[in-house]
Structure 1
Amino acid sequence: MDVKRYIQGEYDLVVVGAGHAGSEAALAAARMGLKTALLCINLDSIAAMSCNPNIGGTGKGHLVREIDALGGEMAKVIDKAFIQSRMLNTSKGPAVHSLRVQADKRLYHDVMKRVLENQENLYLHEAEATDLIIEDSKVKGVVSNTGAVYKTKAAVLCTGTYLRGRIYIGELNYSSGPQGFRPAGKLSNSLEGLGFNLMRLKTGTPARVLKSSLDYSNMEVQRGDEKVVPFSFENIDKDLNKKQEVCYLTYTTKKCHDIIRENINRSALYLGDIEGVGPRYCPSIEDKVVRFADKDSHQVFIEPEGLTTDEMYVQGVSSSLPEEIQGEFYKEIIGLKNVKILRPAYAIEYDAIDATSLKRTLEHMEIEGLFFAGQINGSSGYEEAAAQGIMAGINAALKVKGEEGLVLKRSEAYIGVLIDDLVTKGTKEPYRMMTSRAEYRLTLRQDNADLRLTEIGRKIGLISDERYEKFLYRKNRIKEELNRLSDIKVNPSEENNKKLKSLGSSPIKNAISIKELIRRPELNYKISSIFDSKRPYLRDDIIEAVEIEIKYEGYIKKQQIQINQFKKMENRKLDLNMDYSKIEGLRLEAREKLNNIKPESLAQASRITGVSPADINVLLIYLEQQRRKNES
């Protein structure tokens, strides 16, 4: 029997789901002045780390820094909740340096929940959204399972893996959200009733095991960095060093793989029960054993789940095999002979939309005021979800205010790459951010996210006066030091050349700036101080920024030329109401794809799968013809 509906209240925005996407969306909108309701099936699941207990990593760390630069919350929360911190890829160039930290997952939840509870304009409700009220193709309200109607001007759906969530452990499968939380069973029906073609996606998680049951003697110790680099630019001048937890590296074995192969027909993935496609870059152990049959071992990382528990996360060994088979093959991993499994591994399947039905603001093309963010758009990971969440929250707020939406270009941010990929190309498997996806990664470094995006965050009202002052200090010190190093000349004296020779550098014949000296591969900012008696004290982050700008100046300038060419294409706007079926010369596939996706610019059109360079030339000719026609 249907429950009786009643008006719970009127809001500017309703956010459905309080995971990493929903938390950022709700906070952004509330901080921009919107009366915001945040609905969550269970308040204990707010910002839950349902899978891995870490934040960041290659590509993902860039997203966290960008969220922070815009005024988001993820970086500040993890700076409070981290238990180990490591900067990855330090042996490579700065473009791929990425911060990755282990989290106390319970503390992360507690800190984020407290932030949400105390945010002005934000109203938390434990409620399951079951229906959307749409009138004249506009969002008018969200209905909960208790019959409560949350009247609203806009809505952001951030449902994570809860939409018709289903857990798979071997032959066993049952309706559930992640970590045993209740799934969202009815909202999918509402979306299908509105014409959405939902697809099934799959992800998985490994077993949690008891710390004291493991033998660490044959494992490689993984320690955190001696000096902790904060994720948030707000903490850049603070000392976050503390006693860090230890992680371990171990390996699967041939016997482990043999057990998996012998029982592969009992994996839910191979039984045919799971419809959805799993993440390519985070495969289950069954996938790895089948796809890389020539390998007798795979890396396994043993990671603590927090400071108040002895549960350990076995990264790299997610599975949907039966529980008793898991008990067998986990024991064949080096160091896990006497392992005690506390929670079995499982796969989870859930509903997602085709993100090509969205604008780059993450608003639906046909339903005004309806925004989507996170795994419902086909992405994977906390960081990808949070990045979409803050953008959806910002754009929903701008929509309600009657202002133009915010779209970050691929040349401006990894967030721009993420959203553009999802809405332009779509995805058939959970999308993971990687540095290789960004064409302009040398200019989109994690260290300069604030220089790229904080002015934008300030303009839309997410950066406080205090934060902005700190940003201007850092920005100005970098600029001043670059100018100062350009102005100071080193003369070709015998003494200076002797110093250069002692440093393994060639002598100079003409006076050159210290900036030019630092550009030499064998020299750096610190070493060059012997030629610079009046060098000012600068923070390490400022020194790092100065050195990167100098060392990579030539490459950065070349990339800036490419970015300027890209912007020309981005600035060639396309009419969203254009009927591509009427443009002669376009191939049939291109017409269909362009009409479905409705690109906002020529550059976006060029990135659509199935639209060739020849099709873009046809569009260029057509646009020029239309321009001349309008002028005549």
Structure 2
Amino acid sequence: MSLFTDTYDVIVVGGGHAGSEAAAASANMGAKTLLITMSLQNIAQMSCNPAMGGIAKGQIVREIDALGGYSGIVTDETAIQFKMLNKSKGPAMWSPRAQSDRMRFAEKWRMMLEQTDNLDFYQDMVRGLIIEDNVIKGIRTTLGFDIKAKSVIITAGTFLNGLIHIGEKTFGGGRAGESASTGITEDLVKVGFEAGRMKTGTPPRVDARSLDFSKMVEQPGDEKPEKFSYLSSTKPLEKQRSCYMAYTSQEVHDLLRTGFDRSPMFNGRIQSTGPRYCPSIEDKIDRFATKDKHQLFIEPEGWDTTEIYVNGFSTSLPEDVQDKALRKVAGFENVKFLRFGYAIEYDFFQPTQLKHNLETKLVSNLFFAGQINGTTGYEEAGAQGLMAGINAALKVQGKAPFILKRHEAYIGVLIDDLITKGTEEPYRMFTSRAEYRTLLRQDNADLRLTPMAYELGIASKERLDRVIEKQEKTDLFVAFLRNTSIKHTDVNPILEAKNSAVVDQSMKMFKLAARPQLDFEDVKKFPGVLEFIEANGIDDEIVEQTEVHVKYAGYIDKEKKNADKLTRLENVSIPESFDYHKVKSLSIEARQKLTKIKPVTISQASRISGVSPSDISVLLVYMGR
């Protein structure tokens, strides 16, 4: 039965961060799109911590924004605190992070989606997929509707056969208070997909009125907060809410251990793998038994609510154990719980079953994005959703896929890692995963990606014009510093004040500005620099971009050359039908891995675990190189 007589270009299943970005991207590409979710009230809900960004994750949000996605704009509009992390390190490590108002975040997302052309909404559960001759044809809902589509993107998050654990209690659910999604996994397994199980968890939420913040360490935002979106329409915060830091103790750990025999993690009820880099509190005290304390970050959930997120206390221990242990943390003596922490198990599919455009290899026009691919985090999910939405629309329109390479974006690293290496635990992005992180900075995501997005039609002319202006003014400022000399009598007082070696003759400003002891507040004291900045309308963003270029020019040039070498291997394609078993010189492991992954280039083949440099040499010879 169906009241839906039209065929959609793209159906997006799931309204989380991946689904929201996918729906927005697809619709903005001109595709007739349907977003179907079990609850329209919970679109883009922050299921875990109320924050966006962080180490490497902040770079991803900037990239999403540069590509015309909504995450950066929504974050700026609903932030309550902003911090640029790692400012004491080089610019490749600078990572923006914002604390968000949870309720306003979801509300803003829904408002933006409802104002997006070509996008319809429908509330229902998808219980099955319509697949004919290994081509997706649509979806089947719990109410019995068949909805036809030219392509489908599944972004089910933790809802696929979700199972919630609190102590000895277990019940089905995709999130606290919401039911699990059934039927999709079973249909996919029937046509040959390999499914697995993963675990994640969340900490208790407590009432701020029951806490004594005077016993905690205040964590204010930056004095001069920045923002995520490159658009001029969003503004930095003028006021901020503080977070706080508290610590567990040996007494807290001992109390938590009393519940280990009732913990689903330790009594065998949870078999699946959890996130290595965001472990539960019981996992931390078990793995790091010699540590007598762990940090807890006390994060407000919004401007006006009293709800507090206890970051670092993720747990599935029984409620009574959670209560006793948390009361022994300084400031929590009289704590009132709004909800207890829990763990959740859910289905995922090995991402090696995908192509680089996030389309599945087994079923044409079917795309996966988000936690279904074994990732963790809003940012990783949003990035995949954006790319799946773009590529689903392109596929329907008969156009070539849009694929970001590893030297072009963290998003490119994320997707290549997933489909080339797979994952046995929830995948989280780190700066260390990127070989070219000096190129992939948070400050230049717009320069890298917005021209591509404009060509696709998902970035506005306003965005492109801002990028062109930014590049032109940066080049102008760099050229001024390269071509302008400064007398030693003018610069030596500045150098002496910064304990930098004085000079005995005139020098180009560029060379002096590159010194590590000097920052650009010092450079502004060079004669003529402030006048140049004011005369050319150079703002703080251009100054920062110029400073990075001046101080890290050598590193940037070196990485560009390395990236060019990689590109040469990216250009050596491998036919999809290539039979690795005919190449007897390959190792047995290489033949097995290459046959399973089906890399599309020699470069991708070189990144597969178990494929050695000698195997790559054999392939190059065999391919006629």
For the aligned pair, the TM-score class normalised by the smaller chain equals: over 0.9
Using a 3 Å threshold, how does the CA distance of structure 1 residues 529 and 324 change in structure 2: closer, same or farther?
Answer: closer
Hey, what does 1:630 align to over in structure 2? none
Match runs of 1:91-110 below 5 Å: 91-110=88-107
Are 1:221 and 2:218 matched, yes or no? yes
> Aligned partners of 1:583 and 1:499: how far apart in 2?
65
Q: Aligned AA for 2:224?
A: K
Q: Does the 8 Å contact 2:259/2:318 carry over to 1?
A: no
Q: Deviations over 1:562-583 (max 9, x none)?
A: 1111111212111121111111
Hey, what does 1:208 align to over in structure 2? 205
> Aligned partners of 1:98 and 1:502: how far apart in 2?
30
Hey, what does 1:541 align to over in structure 2? 541
CA apart distance, 1:508? 3.3
The one of 119, 122, 127 aligned to 1:125 = 122
CA apart distance, 1:5? 4.9
Hey, what does 1:583 align to over in structure 2? 583
Moved more, 508-517 or 16-25: 508-517
> Aligned partners of 1:127 and 1:8: how far apart in 2?
17
The one of 63, 66, 83 aligned to 1:66 = 63
Moved more, 312-321 or 241-250: 241-250
The one of 169, 180, 185 aligned to 2:182 = 185
> Aligned partners of 1:495 and 1:366: how far apart in 2?
69
CA apart distance, 1:496? 4.8
Are 1:440 and 2:436 matched, yes or no? yes
Q: Deviations over 1:388-430 (max 9, x none)?
A: 0000001111111111101111111100110011111111111
Hey, what does 2:28 align to over in structure 1? 31
The one of 36, 44, 49 aligned to 1:47 = 44
The one of 403, 407, 410 aligned to 1:411 = 407
Structure 1 runs (4+) greater than 6 angstroms displaced: none
Identity of aligned residues (%): 47
Q: Aligned AA for 2:92?
A: A
Are 1:451 and 2:453 matched, yes or no? no
Report the aligned-residue RMSD.
Answer: 1.5
Using a 3 Å threshold, how does the CA distance of structure 1 residues 524 and 153 change in structure 2: closer, same or farther?
Answer: same
Hey, what does 1:291 align to over in structure 2? 287
> Aligned partners of 2:493 and 2:429: how far apart in 1?
48
CA apart distance, 1:238? 5.8
- Segments of 5+ residues of structure 2 without an aligned counterpart are none
Hey, what does 1:136 align to over in structure 2? 133
Are 1:516 and 2:511 matched, yes or no? yes
Hey, what does 1:374 align to over in structure 2? 370
Q: Deviations over 1:287-311 (max 9, x none)?
A: 0010000011100011111123211
Hey, what does 1:552 align to over in structure 2? 552
- Segments of 5+ residues of structure 1 without an aligned counterpart are 628-632
> Aligned partners of 2:307 and 2:122: how far apart in 1?
30
Q: Does the 8 Å contact 1:6/1:147 carry over to 2?
A: no
Q: Aligned AA for 2:257?
A: R
The one of 65, 73, 76 aligned to 2:73 = 76
Using a 3 Å threshold, how does the CA distance of structure 1 residues 288 and 488 change in structure 2: closer, same or farther?
Answer: same
Q: Deviations over 1:441-473 (max 9, x none)?
A: 111110111111111111100111122222211
**TM-score of the pair, normalised by structure 1:** 0.96
Hey, what does 1:607 align to over in structure 2? 607
> Aligned partners of 1:524 and 1:345: how far apart in 2?
45
> Aligned partners of 1:490 and 1:441: how far apart in 2?
33
Q: Aligned AA for 1:514?
A: M
Hey, what does 1:531 align to over in structure 2? 526
Using a 3 Å threshold, how does the CA distance of structure 1 residues 233 and 495 change in structure 2: closer, same or farther?
Answer: closer
> Aligned partners of 1:371 and 1:504: how far apart in 2?
57
Q: Does the 8 Å contact 1:286/1:319 carry over to 2?
A: yes
> Aligned partners of 2:492 and 2:189: how far apart in 1?
75
The one of 306, 309, 313 aligned to 2:305 = 309
Hey, what does 1:562 align to over in structure 2? 562
> Aligned partners of 1:52 and 1:264: how far apart in 2?
25
The one of 177, 194, 209 aligned to 1:197 = 194
Hey, what does 1:149 align to over in structure 2? 146
Q: Deviations over 1:581-608 (max 9, x none)?
A: 1111111111111011100111111111
Q: Does the 8 Å contact 2:473/2:542 carry over to 1?
A: yes
> Aligned partners of 2:317 and 2:498: how far apart in 1?
59
The one of 230, 233, 254 aligned to 2:230 = 233
> Aligned partners of 2:13 and 2:494: how far apart in 1?
64
> Aligned partners of 2:598 and 2:493: how far apart in 1?
64
SS in 2 for 1:327: helix
**TM-score of the pair, normalised by structure 2:** 0.97
